[in-house]
């Protein structure tokens, strides 16, 4: 029962953050919303796949998505001269 509630909480927050990422007009301010979605999806991976190795999958997803957000923000800052 507890894992079902946690699953719904993570799923709803992932959906909410995804919608906010889409409707936010500023490209920099999209990224914190995307970050919330990544947290929720990393949690969902572990809650759906209950196995000791699923922590590797969640960490790989989370670190990869963080690196992408880092690359998008830094590339944009360098190209647009925002640094």
Partner 1 sequence: MLADYIQIPIAAALCWILFVTVDIVFRLPEKGGVKGAAAIGRKIGEDGGALPGGTMMGNIVSSPDASAGTLLAACGVYVAGLPGGLAAAAIVFIGNRICHDPGYAGTTGAVLASFLVSGFVVLGFAPENFIAGMVIAILTIQGLSHPYASRLLARIWGWRS
Cα 13–chain centre separation: 10
Residue 81: what are its φ and ψ, rounded to 5°? 70, 30
DSSP state of 51: S
Q: Is residue 25 at the binding interface for partner 1, with CB under 8 A as the rule?
A: no
Rounded CA gap, 31 and 4, in Å? 28
Provide the minimum distance between the beta carbon of 42 and partner 1 in the complex, in angstroms, as a whole number: 6
Site string for partner 1, 40-59 (x = CB under 8 A): x-xx--xx--xxx-xxx-xx
Indicate whether 16 belongs to the interface with partner 1 (CB under 8 A). yes
**Which pair of tokens denotes residue 40?**
């929720």
Judged by DSSP in three states, 83 sits in coil
Residues of this chain that bind partner 1 (CB under 8 A): 1-3, 5-6, 9-10, 13, 16-17, 20, 26, 28-29, 31-36, 39-40, 42-43, 46-47, 50-52, 54-56, 58-59, 62-63, 66-67, 69-78, 82-83
């Amino acid at each position: 029962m507890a894992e079902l509630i946690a699953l719904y909480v993570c799923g709803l927050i992932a959906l909410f953050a995804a919608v906010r990422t889409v409707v936010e007009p500023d490209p920099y301010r999209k990224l914190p919303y995307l970050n919330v979605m990544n947290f929720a999806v990393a949690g969902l991976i572990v809650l759906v796949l209950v196995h000791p190795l699923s922590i590797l999958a969640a960490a790989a997803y989370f670190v990869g998505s963080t690196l992408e957000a880092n690359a998008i923000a830094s590339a944009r800052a360098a190209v647009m001269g925002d640094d």
